Amino acid sequence: MTSAFPLLPKAWREMEKGKSNSEDGVLAHLERLEAQARESALKQEEKEQQEEKLAGLKARVQELRAQRDELRAKLELQQKRLLEKEGVKTDPEQPSARAVLEWKIRSMKDLLQLFYLTGISGKLTKRGVCFCISTAYEGTYLHSYYLDVLTKPEVQIQRHSVPTFIPLEQIARRHLQTDIRRFLAVLSDHLNAYAGRRYQADQLQERFSDRLEGPLQRNSLCNLLVFHYNVSGDNGSFLFSAKLLYSDLCCSLPTEAIVSCTPNAPAELAAMAAAHSETFRRLALHKAFDSFSKAEETQDQALINPPGSPQ
């Protein structure tokens, strides 16, 4: 019993040391928890601020839409009152020339505001309005076209920079005299679709020239594209031929896509050609080739590292 007493101070020191280490570990853990709590609180505050900002933006959008609808309603009411004031009420089929002219001028002034956010802008001139239609595709600005429209003595196009293959005269005959807003909207659809088709063809030639066999053939309107391209298969590279037809001139995607492979190609490539045809109708031309390249890379990687092989 007496031999155990000298060990007590050492044992006590060991216990005190363990206790100290335990306290340090608890304090460190508490500090980590506090830091995590602060970080979580900051993230939650940031999230709430973003949600509040988003809600404010949504409310602003709804407010602007309501103002737009109100302006349109006021415009229609003013046009109706103007025609009635000029005596059109008693003879609605024969409005006076002055009333019609003033109505057209008022309409064009309002159009400068209504179309601004849709890529159509303009400024008043001494004899009418000069409109600018800007085209873009997938957020990329492409080109602008101009129309100098006269309102005196009647609405007519004095000069313009619209390409000759755009059916401007046909669109003008249908809408210019009766609904200039419709006229500008339809013309903008044609120009943007043409610009989008041309942009896709340019992107194909610039980014995938190594896959093309021979030149890409296209007409001025870019509503007919013919090209040949190489496809990699298990047994080598094979040539595909594609013909894209855009029957809807207000659309930048083809209404018909015909893809065929060479007669000596393996049978499984026929299914690939059909899949490519569907892809061309669904995606922009350069994005379709992006998907083809990614599929081939995945296939090559699978051949290098087949499933179940050691990494």
pLDDT of amino acid 169:
95
Residue 171 has pLDDT above 80, yes or no: yes
CA 95, CA 130: separation in Å to the nearest integer?
A: 26
Residue 89 has pLDDT above 50, yes or no: no
**Residue bearing the bigger pLDDT, 201 or 138:** 201
Q: Which of 24-38, 187-201, 295-309 has the highest mean pLDDT?
A: 187-201
Q: For the whole model, what pTM was predicted? A: 0.61
Q: What is the pLDDT of residues 233-271, one digit of tens each?
A: 666 788 999 999 999 999 999 999 999 988 777 778 888
Q: Which residues contact 145 (CB under 8 A, 6 or more apart)?
A: 132, 133, 135, 160, 161, 162, 163, 191
The phi and psi torsions of 129 (rounded to 5 degrees) equal: -140, 140
**Residue bearing the bigger pLDDT, 253 or 110:** 253
Helix (H, G, I), strand (E, B) or coil at 230: strand
Other Cβ atoms within 10 Å of 122 Cβ, number: 22
pLDDT of amino acid 37:
76
